[in-house]
């Protein structure tokens, strides 16, 4: 009996090996010398996976680039890592990535499959990036998707065929996307005390990105973060739990009170910075309420998601906007981000000179430009009028003020009634 079982196992093993060999053989006829094959052979997948296991066997599809190896393919053998990735900020990368296919310049199968499973019109993720929608296909591919594809691509960090852990344990792997003027996490860390010591003494003496943001190898990179993208902190209950998780990590090297105090200081810097951003935003909204932006949102190419509306939030564009809005974009997206990314990564120069000083200088420029626009409209030095001569514009302003909480429901209703009366009485 035992012999029979041994014989069956041997046959099954031989059959599996033969199948693998056959499948491999088919691809290797042409791809034996490829770097993909060289890397696969040197990886932990060697001998366990054939090309077809991940890529499928439809060569035409593969050649046309329609056989994308998504995270689900890796998740067949690595379900825990996939689950962690899916619930993390990386797993919702498309929130800042792709737009609806009907806004895409070329509606091809490849484009569709990035957001939809074949045959399913439900998008894989909520899609909401106006800046992506303004891009050329080439620019969108290199400038947007190479980072935001992480939602569905393990290869973003792990590379396509290599499996060595040291690749993904190096902070450099994060730098591809987490750098630059909009969120210089890598530079802020690299030029901080942590980043200086790390290459000299290693992770036992100073943390790299992974130690704090992917502790114990988790693929949930959101642990310990206290704010979603954009900087506004999470609600109190979530904030407390997240902060506690980060403090647990800090106390491996630091006194708990020291770590708590430093993070609290960074929280304060963030709150102060957001207040300056809000001040700048209010100035621009007020100009728009009076139709003094040049060009005004009603005179420009419509925003791809919000039309002729003034957009100063996460969907703000850096093109087809007025000069004062471009100043605000730099203040909010670049300088403010540098300030608090610098503060949380313990980098004094990023916090102060690249960040805070730049925020204040840009706010000053915004105030100056606002005065210029006001003067040009003949309102120099005066308080801004509260009413516009066009009833539709007046109603728009009233509605915006109500939505921003600057008017209560009763005041909004009365002001609206007054405009309606004027329309009815007009000749």
Q: Which is nearer to another protein, 25 or 302 (CB)?
A: 302
Q: Does 411 bind another protein (CB under 8 A)?
A: no
Out of 3, 119, 138, 275, the residue judged to bind another protein by CB under 8 A: 119
Farthest CA pair distance, the chain? 104
Q: Min. distance of Cβ 109 from another protein in angstroms?
A: 8
Residue of 255, 245, 205 whose CA lies nearest to 221:
245
Q: Rounded to an integer, what distance in angstroms lies between the CA atom of residue 216 and that of residue 101?
A: 38
Q: Could you tell me if 111 and 101 are in contact, meaning their C-beta atoms sit under 8 angstroms apart?
A: yes
Look at the block and give the residue holding tokens 């105090």.
261
> Which positions ≥6 away from 408 have C-beta within 8 Å?
402
Q: Which is nearer to another protein, 2 or 122 (CB)?
A: 122
Out of 32, 77, 79, 120, the residue judged to bind another protein by CB under 8 A: 120
Q: Could you tell me if 337 and 349 are in contact, meaning their C-beta atoms sit under 8 angstroms apart?
A: no
Binding segment toward another protein, per CB under 8 A, in 119-127, 253-261, 281-289, 374-382: 119-127
Q: Min. distance of Cβ 27 from another protein in angstroms?
A: 26
Out of 4, 5, 200, 426, the residue judged to bind another protein by CB under 8 A: 426
Q: Does 396 bind another protein (CB under 8 A)?
A: yes
Q: Rounded to an integer, what distance in angstroms lies between the CA atom of residue 130 and that of residue 297?
A: 15
Q: Rounded to an integer, what distance in angstroms lies between the CA atom of residue 185 and that of residue 172?
A: 11
Q: Which is nearer to another protein, 120 or 205 (CB)?
A: 120
What's the half-sphere exposure (Cβ side, CA atoms, 13 Å) at 368? 8
Residue by residue, what is the 3-state secondary structure of 386-402? CCCCCHHHHHHHHHHHH
Q: Rounded to an integer, what distance in angstroms lies between the CA atom of residue 283 and that of residue 268?
A: 23
Q: Min. distance of Cβ 257 from another protein in angstroms?
A: 52
Q: Does 420 bind another protein (CB under 8 A)?
A: yes
Q: Could you tell me if 343 and 266 are in contact, meaning their C-beta atoms sit under 8 angstroms apart?
A: yes
Tokens for 396?
Answer: 């728009």
Q: Which is nearer to another protein, 123 or 143 (CB)?
A: 123
User: Measuring CA to CA, how many Å separate 103 from each of 95, 106, 313?
Assistant: 16, 9, 21
Residues 354-393 that bind another protein (CB under 8 A): 391-392
Q: Min. distance of Cβ 399 from another protein in angstroms?
A: 6
Binding mask 79-118 for another protein (x = CB under 8 A): -----------------------x------x--x-----x
Neighbours of 120 (CB within 10 A): 10
Q: Which is nearer to another protein, 121 or 383 (CB)?
A: 121
Q: Min. distance of Cβ 103 from another protein in angstroms?
A: 10
Q: Rounded to an integer, what distance in angstroms lies between the CA atom of residue 362 and that of residue 359?
A: 5
Q: Which is nearer to another protein, 9 or 417 (CB)?
A: 417
> Applying CB under 8 A, what is the total number of residues that bind another protein?
20
Binding segment toward another protein, per CB under 8 A, in 26-34, 197-205, 371-379, 413-421: 413-421
Binding site for another protein (CB under 8 A): 102, 109, 112, 118-122, 391-392, 395-396, 399, 416-417, 420, 423-424, 426-427
């Amino acid at each position: 009996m035992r012999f029979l079982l041994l014989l069956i196992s041997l046959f099954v093993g031989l059959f599996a090996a033969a199948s693998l060999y056959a499948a491999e053989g088919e691809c290797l006829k042409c791809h034996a010398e490829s770097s993909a094959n060289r890397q696969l052979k040197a990886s932990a997948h060697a001998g366990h996976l054939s090309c077809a296991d991940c890529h499928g066997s439809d060569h035409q599809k593969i050649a046309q680039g329609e056989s994308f190896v998504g995270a689900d393919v890796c998740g067949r053998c690595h379900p825990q890592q996939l689950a962690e990735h899916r619930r993390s900020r990386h797993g919702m990368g498309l929130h800042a990535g792709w737009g609806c296919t009907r806004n895409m310049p070329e509606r091809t199968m490849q484009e569709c499959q990035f957001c939809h499973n074949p045959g399913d019109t439900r998008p894989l993720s909520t899609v909401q990036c106006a800046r992506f929608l303004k891009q050329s296909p080439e620019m969108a591919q290199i400038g947007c998707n190479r980072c935001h594809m992480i939602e569905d691509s393990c290869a973003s960090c792990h590379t396509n065929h290599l499996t060595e852990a040291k690749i993904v344990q190096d902070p450099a792997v994060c730098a591809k996307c987490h750098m630059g003027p909009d969120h210089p996490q890598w530079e802020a860390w690299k030029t901080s005390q942590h980043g200086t010591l790390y290459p000299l003494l290693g992770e036992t003496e100073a943390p790299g990105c992974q130690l704090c943001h992917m502790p114990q190898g988790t693929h949930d990179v959101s642990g310990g973060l206290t704010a979603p993208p954009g900087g506004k902190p999470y609600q109190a209950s979530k904030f407390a739990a997240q902060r506690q998780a980060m403090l647990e990590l800090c106390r491996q090297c630091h006194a708990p009170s020291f770590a708590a105090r430093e993070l609290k200081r960074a929280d304060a810097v963030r709150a102060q910075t957001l207040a300056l951003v809000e001040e700048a935003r209010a100035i621009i909204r007020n100009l728009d309420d009076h139709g003094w932006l040049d060009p005004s949102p009603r005179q420009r190419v419509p925003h791809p998601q919000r039309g002729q509306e003034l957009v100063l939030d996460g969907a703000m564009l850096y093109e087809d906007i007025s000069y004062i809005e471009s100043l605000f974009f730099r203040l909010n997206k670049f300088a403010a981000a540098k300030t608090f990314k610098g503060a949380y990564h313990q980098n004094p120069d990023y916090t102060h000179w690249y960040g805070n000083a730049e925020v204040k200088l840009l706010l000053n420029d915004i105030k100056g430009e606002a005065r210029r626009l006001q003067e040009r409209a003949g309102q120099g030095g005066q308080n801004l009028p509260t009413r516009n001569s066009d009833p539709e514009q007046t109603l728009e302003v009233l509605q915006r003020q109500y939505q921003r909480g600057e008017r209560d429901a009763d005041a909004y209703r009365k002001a609206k009634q007054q405009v309606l009366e004027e329309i009815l009485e007009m000749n």
